[in-house]
Amino acid sequence: MSDLSPADAAEPGFRQSVDLMFNRAAALMQLSPGLEQKIRVCNSTYTVRFGVRLRGKIETFTGYRSVHSEHMEPVKGGIRYALSVHQDEVEALAALMTYKCALVEAPFGGSKGGLCIDPRQWEEHELEQITRRFAYELIKRDLIHPAQNVPAPDMGTGEREMAWIVDQYSRMNTTDINARACVTGKPLNSGGIRGRVEATGRGVQYALREFFRHREDMAVARLTGTLSGKRIVVQGLGNVGHHAALFLAQEDDARIVAVIERDGALIDDRGLDIPAVKAWLAEHGGLQGYPGATFTADGASVLEMDCDILIPAAMEGVIHRGNAARIKAPLIIEAANGPITFAADEILRQKGCVIIPDLYANAGGVTVSYFEWVKNLSHIRFGRMQRRAEESRSRLLVEELERLSADRGLGWELMPDFKERFLTGSDELALVRSGLDDTMRTAYQSMREVWHSRNDVTDLRVAAYMVAIGRVAETYRSKGL
What integer pLDDT is reported at residue 253 of this predicted model? 96
What is the band of 417 on the pLDDT scale with cuts at 50, 70, 90?
confident
Question: For residue range 155-165, what is the model confidence (pLDDT) as tens digits?
Answer: 999 999 999 99
In terms of Cα–Cα distance, which of 460, 465, 361, 348 is closest to 18?
A: 465
Burial (CB count <10 Å: 0-12, 13-18, 19+), residue 465: buried
- pLDDT at 403 (0 to 100): 84
Task: Please list, residue by residue across 170-208, b when 16 or more beta carbons sit within 10 angstroms of its beta carbon and e when fewer do.
Answer: eeebeeeeebbbbbbbbeeebbbbbbbbbbbbbbbbbbb
CA–CA distance, 134 with 161 (Å, rounded to integer): 11
Task: Give the dihedral sign, CA 230/235/237/238.
Answer: negative
Structure confidence at residue 7 as a pLDDT band (50, 70, 90): very low
- A 10 A CB-CB count for 294 gives 11
Q: Which helix (H) or strand (E) holds 80?
A: strand 79-81
- Give 91-102 pLDDT, tens digit per residue: 999 999 999 999
Q: Report, as residue numbers or ranges, the catalytic residues.
A: 112
In tens, the pLDDT along 238-284 reads: 999 999 999 999 999 999 999 999 999 999 999 999 999 999 999 99
Strands 255-261 vs 231-235: parallel, antiparallel or unpaired? parallel
Mean pLDDT of the chain: 93
Q: What is the pLDDT of residues 49-83, one digit of tens each?
A: 999 999 999 999 999 999 999 999 999 999 999 99
> What burial class does residue 315 get, using C-beta atoms within 10 Å of its C-beta: 0-12 exposed, 13-18 middle, 19+ buried?
middle
Determine the 3-state secondary structure of 68 from DSSP: strand
Comparing CA positions, the residue from 132, 125, 27 lying closest to residue 79 is 132
- Give the residue with greater pLDDT, 405 vs 183: 183
In whole angstroms, give the CA distance from residue 75 to residue 320: 30
The secondary structure of residue 153, as a DSSP letter, is B
pTM given for the model: 0.91
Give the Cα separation of 255 and 227 in Å (integer).
9
Give the pLDDT score at 423: 80
Q: What's the pLDDT tens digit per position in 95-136?
A: 999 999 999 999 999 999 999 999 999 999 999 999 999 999
Angle at 43 between CA 42 and CA 49, to 5 degrees: 90
Q: What is the per-residue pLDDT for 10?
A: 62
Contacts of 406 (CB under 8 A, 6+ apart): none
Could you tell me which residue, 204 or 15, shows the higher pLDDT? 204
Is the CB of residue 166 less than 8 Å from the CB of residue 191? yes
- What DSSP string runs through 376-407? HHHTS-TTTTTHHHHHHHHHHHHHHHHHHHHH
How does pLDDT run across 426-460, given as a tens digit for each residue? Answer: 889 999 999 999 999 999 999 999 999 999 999 99
> Which residues make Cβ contacts (< 8 Å) with residue 380, sequence separation at least 6?
none
At 5 the pLDDT is: 37
- DSSP label of 145: B
pLDDT of residue 4: 42
Query: What is the rounded average pLDDT of the residues 311-315?
Result: 94
Measure the CA–CA gap between 346 and 363, rounded to whole angstroms: 23
Write the pLDDT tens digit of every residue in 361-412. 999 999 999 999 999 999 999 888 888 888 888 888 888 888 888 887 777 7
Q: What is the mean pLDDT of residues 330-348?
A: 95
Residue 188 is predicted with a pLDDT of 95
Confidence category of residue 2, pLDDT binned at 50, 70, 90: very low
Question: Higher-confidence residue: 29 or 316?
Answer: 29
